[in-house]
Structure 1
Amino acid sequence: MRTLIVTEFITLDGVIDSPGSGSHPRAGWTFKDVPFVEEAYEIKGREQLEAGAMLMGRVSYEEFAPVWPTMEEEFAEYNAMPKYVVSSTLTDPEWNNTQVLRSLDDVAKLKQTEGGNIIVHGSATLAQGLAAAGLVDRYHLLVFPILLGDGKRLFGGGDPYTRLDLVEHEAYSNGVTKAVFNVVQ
């Protein structure tokens, strides 16, 4: 069985909306508002190397697909690996090696296949749905010392009770903290 990992840039108040770009009024908060410290992003490179597939929602797909393929040096592994989009409306994905899944049941079937980790970037609605369906195995969080107040959140008000086990953590000089949690099944 494959491990499904939700990885997020997240504010201290739980917002994951528009960390690099997007429609949030403070879009780009990861790089505009917090000094860059290279070692804080080590986990991102590790995720690419360890992942066997990427899973995303339609909105994240529409944001990533025009940009990531042009950034071959930064995202070579992601561009080459299988990508899956959970969507009821997307019909013909153009990003290399991308397949559409129609439901969380399809995601559950994907988890049963052979291969490396399945990594979920962004996709707040999808991440909440995956958590509610009991499909998330691990969270990789880079927590930024920012309060945005509003925006898409990783954890919604209706999330089921979930116990997490902290398996890796580190704090960096810019105030960002890394927290890796396994979901206790």
Structure 2
Amino acid sequence: MRTLIVTEFITLDGVVDSPGGGDHPRAGWTFKEVPFVEEAYEIKGREQTEAGAMLIGRVSYDEFAPVWPKMEEFAEYNAMPKYVVSSTLTDPEWNNTTVLRSLDEVAELKQADGEGTILVHGSPTLAQGLAEAGLVDRYHLLVFPVVLGDGKRLFNGREQGTLKLVEHEAYSNGVVKNVFDVEH
């Protein structure tokens, strides 16, 4: 079975909304409000080289697909299989993209043969559904010393379970890396 990892930039108050841009009034809070420290992002490079597939929701697809294919630093993501969970997307233009219609299809993807992890970027609604369905195996959270008060959150209060901290590091800019395994 493949490991499904949810990776997020998250604020101290649990908001994952618009970390690099978007509709939130403080969109871009990861780089506008916190000094850049390269080592804090080491996990992002590691994720890209270890992942065998990317799984995202429709909103994240609509945000990423026009931009990521043009970014050299995302070459591995652009080449790998991508899966979008959507009831409305019919003809994805981002290369090597397949549409999944349900969480049952995500469960089948986890069971199918394949190399590398399945990485969920952004997509808080999808991440919540995956957690509720017991499909998440690990969380990679870069916690930023920011409080937004409102916005899309990673957890909606309906998730169940225990997390085991397996990796942790704090950086000079206040960002903290927390890697949790979900105990099933």
TM-score by length of 2: 0.99
Tell me, in whole angstroms, the C-alpha distance in 2 between the residues paired with 1:114 and 1:12: 37
Q: What is the Cα deviation at residue 88 of structure 1?
A: 0.2
Q: Which residue of 2 aligns with 1:135?
A: 135
2:24 matched to which residue of 1? Answer: 24
Partner of 1:100 in structure 2? 99
State the 1:23 CA deviation: 0.2
How far 1:162 sits from its partner (Å)?
1.2
Q: Could you tell me how far apart the structure 2 residues matched to 1:64 and 1:114 are? A: 26
Q: Distance in 1 between matches of 2:42 and 2:147?
A: 23
TM superposition shift of 1:16: 0.1
- Number of corresponding residues: 183
Structure 1: distance between partners of 2:2 and 2:143 = 25
Partner of residue 84, structure 1 = 83
- The structural deviation recorded for 1:171 is 0.1
Matched letter for residue 94 of structure 2: W
The 1-side partners of 2:49 and 2:136 are apart by 19
1:36-62 deviation digits (Å, cap 9, x = unpaired): 000000000000000000000000000
Amino acid at match of 2:103: L
Percent identity reads 83
- 1:70, CA displacement in angstroms? 0.4
Give the Cα separation in 2 of the matches to 1:157 and 1:42: 30
3-state SS of the aligned residue for 2:181? Answer: strand
- Could you tell me which residue of structure 2 aligns to residue 39 of structure 1? 39
SS in 2 for 1:127: helix
Q: Which amino acid aligns with 2:53?
A: A
Structure 1: segments with no counterpart, 5+ residues? none
Equivalent residue number for residue 66 of structure 1: 66
Q: Which residue of 2 aligns with 1:5?
A: 5
Q: Would you say 1:110 and 2:109 are equivalent positions?
A: yes
**Alignment of 1:14 onto 2:36:** no
TM-score (norm 1): 0.98
Moved over 6 A (4+): none
CA shift at 1:157, angstroms? 2.4
Shift of the alpha carbon at 1:111?
A: 0.1
> Per-residue displacement from partner, 1:83-133 (whole Å, max 9, x unpaired)?
000000000000000000000000000000122100000001000000000
**Counterpart position of 2:146:** 146
In 2, Cα distance between the equivalents of 1:19 and 1:183?
Answer: 24
Q: Distance in 2 between matches of 1:85 and 1:135?
A: 16
Match of 2:174 in 1: 175
Structure 2 CA distance for aligned equivalents of residues 4 and 62 of structure 1: 21
